[in-house]
């Protein structure tokens, strides 16, 4: 049944955090701006339609995303709130089954099972079978369904 669980990273996977000019300086200075203004990395309308279709078939969809690497508790709370707002703004029709916004470096394979879409090779390697990069998210979802 774990193959019916689909997990998405956010930064670098569905949100182009690293494409925001000055993103690293902002994070160092505890500014949530990059998280708020990151552009989508995938056609979100098509993604939302596919997620909604698959949820009707019984698939579970989760977000597993990290807070800032060196953020304070207060800053990381603001990061989590900003990520939730980003999801609500960009994927309003998706009712996520779970949204896990966890401290940076938390092993994602300890949070969920199933399929993981993540831009970081270390996360995909630790996840093992069922981990995918971001190159063909919609294609993989359609093949799984």
Q: What would the pLDDT profile of 49-105 be if each residue is shown by its tens digit?
A: 999 999 999 999 999 999 999 899 999 999 999 999 999 999 999 999 999 999 999
Cβ-contact 7, 115 below 8 angstroms: yes
Q: What would the pLDDT profile of 2-33 be if each residue is shown by its tens digit?
A: 569 999 999 999 999 999 999 999 999 999 99
Predicted confidence at residue 1, as pLDDT, reads: 44
Distances (CA, A) of 125 to 9, 108, 117: 14, 11, 12
How does DSSP classify residue 18?
G
Mean pLDDT, rounded, for 43-48? 97
Domain assignments of the chain as residue spans, ordered by start: 2-144
Measure the CA–CA gap between 32 and 17, rounded to whole angstroms.
Answer: 11
Predicted confidence at residue 132, as pLDDT, reads: 98
Six token digits for residue 127: 């996840």
Cβ-contact 125, 131 below 8 angstroms: yes
Neighbours of 9 (CB within 10 A): 21
Q: What does the DSSP assignment read for 42-60?
A: S-HHHHHHHHHHHHHTT-E
Bridge partners, residue 61, by sequence: 6
Q: What would the pLDDT profile of 112-143 be if each residue is shown by its tens digit?
A: 999 999 999 999 999 999 999 999 999 999 99
What is the third-level CATH fold of 2-144? Rossmann fold (3.40.50)
């Amino acid at each position: 049944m774990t193959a019916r669980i689909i997990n998405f990273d956010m930064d670098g996977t569905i949100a182009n955090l690293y494409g925001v000019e000055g993103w690293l300086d902002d994070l160092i200075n505890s500014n949530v701006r990059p998280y708020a203004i990151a552009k989508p990395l995938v056609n979100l309308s098509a993604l939302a339609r596919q997620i909604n279709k698959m949820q009707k078939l019984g698939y579970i969809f989760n977000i597993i995303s990290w807070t800032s690497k060196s953020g304070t508790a207060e800053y990381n709370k603001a990061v989590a709130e900003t990520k939730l707002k980003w999801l609500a703004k960009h994927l309003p029709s998706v009712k996520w089954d779970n949204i896990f916004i966890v401290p940076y470096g938390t092993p994602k394979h300890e949070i969920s099972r199933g399929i993981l879409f993540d831009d970081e090779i270390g996360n995909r390697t630790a996840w093992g079978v069922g981990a995918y990069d971001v190159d063909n998210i919609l294609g993989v979802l359609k093949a799984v369904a």
